Amino acid sequence: MRGPLGAIIGRHFSSAAAGGEGDDVQTGVIRHDRKCRDLPFLALFAAFWVAMIVNSSFGFNQGNPLRLTYGLDYRGNICGSKHGDPDLSELDVRYWMNPNQVYQSGLKDSKIDLADSKSICLMECPYPAEDGLNFVCDYPEGDIRLSVDDWIDRDYDYFEYLTPEMRNTSLQLQGPCYPIIFPSINVYWSCQFIARPSNVSLKHWQRMGGASIDENMLIDKTIHNTINYKSSVLKRYVADIGKSWPVLIVCGGLLPLFLSLVWLAMIRYFVAGMPWITVVLFNVLVISVTMFFYIKAGWIGNDPLTVVIGPSDPYVSIGGREINHLHFAAVLMTIVMIICFLTSIAIVRRILIATSVLKVAAKVIGEVQALIIFPVVPYFILAIIYMFWFAATLYLFSSGKVLQNDCKADCCTFDLKLGKVNCDNCCGYSVHYTPHIGIAIFFHLFGCYWATQFFIACSSAVIAGSVASYYWARGEISHDIPFHTVVSSLKRLMRYSLGSVALGSLIVSTVEWVQSILKSLRRRLKTVDTAGESSFQKTVSSSSHCCLGCIDWTIKSVNRNAYIIIATTGKGFFKASELVTGLIMNNILRIGQVNVIGDVILFLGKLCVSLFSALFAFLMLDNHKYRSAHNKISSPLFPVLLCWALGYVVAQLFFGVVETSVETIIMSFCQDAEEHEGEAQYAPPLLMETLGDPSQLQRLTQGP
């Protein structure tokens, strides 16, 4: 260290103290000898959020969340939209009318794509008649003087009203009416054909002189592949966010808030038993969440995820990527469960250290009671940001322009408006995305992560400033502590250190995003050239991966402690990082042995809150509301993982009270000991019992 911090903190009198200026000087807590730091990065953060708002407004203007769930008809209307032509508010299932077009679109080197096959929107998927032949006819218009409601009431069939010319074109599969030969079921709002034609309907069609209909399995696989395309699955996952918003509010916001407050209260009044309760509860919750994944994957019980909406054919099993993803999640959770169980056994003997450290934090929380309430402030700020962010996410992912495809297909269909066969309008419609939309989505995701890191860092800085005041005051101003120190610490942060917090949170966010991008590229390269990868390349890849993980952990650790120095001294981020690195290196044994085990228990506590949120999300999503009709979610995976992540963020805010308190006191203790020749003068008796006696520290570390 390049000099003591005593001139800045505590009862060490400086020239500023002699003048008696300011509240903090009079009460003996952290002084105001500081100035604004890292202002360019605060301006960068503000500019970034202005850009986030502009970026989101683009999504609100160009997007439509209905596109994430429902398909487009041959006119470019979104099924289920009341703004279509005609009004399709009750017609939300996409149906391909011409089975031969579906078959041909599945052929290799075919000129026609499924997106160009003629599709319309219906209320439900049609099924062949048992004793005859039914038709599905185009939207009524022109000479077909039926209202849409009458068309729906007639099961979309007005074949008997057709003129001889129209009947002839219909028999040639040119419309306006098409035969229902294949049964179909509603799979994620698209009618999945089953390649098992109705013999009765097919015979009636042939007797009427209808065109030959292909019966190949491609008619099944083509639609199935389109429904399960990666982008389609991703859209459904994002749409699940909008459908399950009550679950996100309850399980991602309110429930973790309640559980975090309960955990903090128990730390305050029942600290001796909390490490044991946390370890046991953590293992129980990991097992419970794993079992729910097994149930939804269909490996346990009779309640697996179904991709079919409404009644289905009991003899037909249609899977999808969602089920495969649940299988993967179940396997991954099994591995996590085993690792967690073994880790719990390994740390049992060292829980005594965690108990001692948590007792110190409980003492601080008891003295500075406002610390329990303070995280509610960043909690509500983040809640508002997340609500805006999730809404913008739905619109950004659904943004793009509905444009007619550029196809080379040859087709002729009867145009009811023109009253004749038209061969000029063969191409269908699709949502076309431009490259800048991908950049906008990436920018949007990064902005959320940076904002989360920023407000968590702000909370840590305020808590650190309050706890440092408590440490260096030696309890002599305990009657002023409950609210005064928290408010003063918040004022100092707002006035001087927001730029430093913005810089630190930006560094963490950037490093983690670079790490995630490199991981993704590494996985893709492995799949492209697994066989040709030499042992040297494998070694380099594994080493780089390990180094990135170490760099990420180091930066997080330094950042977290740098916020303590920023809050207590008012230094800029880089200077604070330098000071804290020196302090850690000089006291590596003391900090490492005590802080690591305490961090493990706190980490398990955060996971308990997030796992309980995930478990409750499973229970809420298992309700009939989310398993049928329009609110049916494609998979519980995405909402559950989001509740898990949100629960962890909330827990991190509130558990940060204990975590930052412990780290601030340990850092203050180390600094205190350095300034007083190895013997801390300001440490509370309980902390001296934990950190001051090397023989006791060695005994607690080694265990009985």
Name the residue among 662, 652, 617 with its Cα closest to residue 637: 617
Q: Which residue has the higher pLDDT, 345 or 2?
A: 345
Distance CA 138, CA 176 (A): 5
CB 375 within 8 A of CB 656: yes
Name the residue among 127, 188, 231 with its Cα closest to residue 318: 188
Name the band, by pLDDT with cuts 50, 70 and 90, for residue 8.
very low
pLDDT digits (tens, 9 = 90+) for 604-613: 889 999 999 9
- For residue 656, give both structure tokens: 């940060």
- Residue 31 reports pLDDT greater than 70: no
Task: Report the pLDDT value the prediction gives residue 701, as an integer from 0 to 100.
Answer: 38
Task: Report the pLDDT value the prediction gives residue 7, as an integer from 0 to 100.
Answer: 34
Q: What is the mean pLDDT of residues 159-182?
A: 90
The 3-state DSSP class for residue 212 equals coil
Distance CA 262, CA 342 (A): 27
Task: Report the pLDDT value the prediction gives residue 304, as an integer from 0 to 100.
Answer: 80
Name the band, by pLDDT with cuts 50, 70 and 90, for residue 538.
low
Cβ neighbours of residue 288 closer than 8 Å, sequence gap 6 or more: 611, 615
Q: Which of 2-6, 465-469, 590-594 has the highest mean pLDDT?
A: 465-469
Distance CA 571, CA 558 (A): 14
Left if phi > 0, otherwise alpha if psi is -120 to 50, otherwise beta: which for 301?
A: left
Q: What is the mean pLDDT of residues 60-85?
A: 89
- Residue 475 reports pLDDT greater than 90: no
Q: What is the mean pLDDT of residues 541-555?
A: 63
Task: Report the pLDDT value the prediction gives residue 474, as an integer from 0 to 100.
Answer: 60
pLDDT digits (tens, 9 = 90+) for 640-653: 999 999 999 999 99
pLDDT digits (tens, 9 = 90+) for 304-348: 888 888 777 766 777 788 888 899 999 999 999 999 888 888 777
Q: What is the mean pLDDT of residues 403-431?
A: 83
Average pLDDT, the chain: 81
Task: Report the pLDDT value the prediction gives residue 386, as an integer from 0 to 100.
Answer: 94
Name the band, by pLDDT with cuts 50, 70 and 90, for residue 527.
low
Task: Report the pLDDT value the prediction gives residue 255, as an integer from 0 to 100.
Answer: 95
Distance CA 435, CA 520 (A): 19
Least confident span in 183-197, 250-264, 399-413, 630-644: 399-413
pLDDT digits (tens, 9 = 90+) for 111-147: 788 888 899 999 999 989 888 899 999 999 888 888 8
The whole-model pTM stands at: 0.84
- Residue 192 reports pLDDT greater than 70: yes
Name the band, by pLDDT with cuts 50, 70 and 90, for residue 27.
very low
CB 194 within 8 A of CB 316: yes
Q: What is the mean pLDDT of residues 445-452?
A: 91
Name the band, by pLDDT with cuts 50, 70 and 90, for residue 625.
confident
Q: Please, what is the Cα angle at 123 between 119 and 124, to 5 degrees?
A: 85
Positions of E strands within 102-203: 119-122, 135-137, 177-179, 184-187, 190-193
Task: Report the pLDDT value the prediction gives residue 601, as an integer from 0 to 100.
Answer: 81
- Residue 479 reports pLDDT greater than 60: no
- The count of C-alpha atoms lying within 13 angstroms of the C-alpha of 537, restricted to the half-sphere facing its C-beta, is 9
Task: Report the pLDDT value the prediction gives residue 553, as an integer from 0 to 100.
Answer: 62
Task: Report the pLDDT value the prediction gives residue 393, as an integer from 0 to 100.
Answer: 93
Least confident span in 45-49, 55-59, 78-82, 660-664: 660-664
Share of the chain above pLDDT 90, in %: 28
H/E run at residue 287: helix 274-296
Q: Which residue has the higher pLDDT, 497 or 584?
A: 497
Task: Report the pLDDT value the prediction gives residue 540, as an integer from 0 to 100.
Answer: 58
Task: Report the pLDDT value the prediction gives residue 136, as an integer from 0 to 100.
Answer: 93
Least confident span in 5-14, 217-226, 484-493: 5-14
Q: Which of 91-95, 210-214, 358-362, 400-404 has the highest mean pLDDT?
A: 91-95
Task: Report the pLDDT value the prediction gives residue 15, as an integer from 0 to 100.
Answer: 32
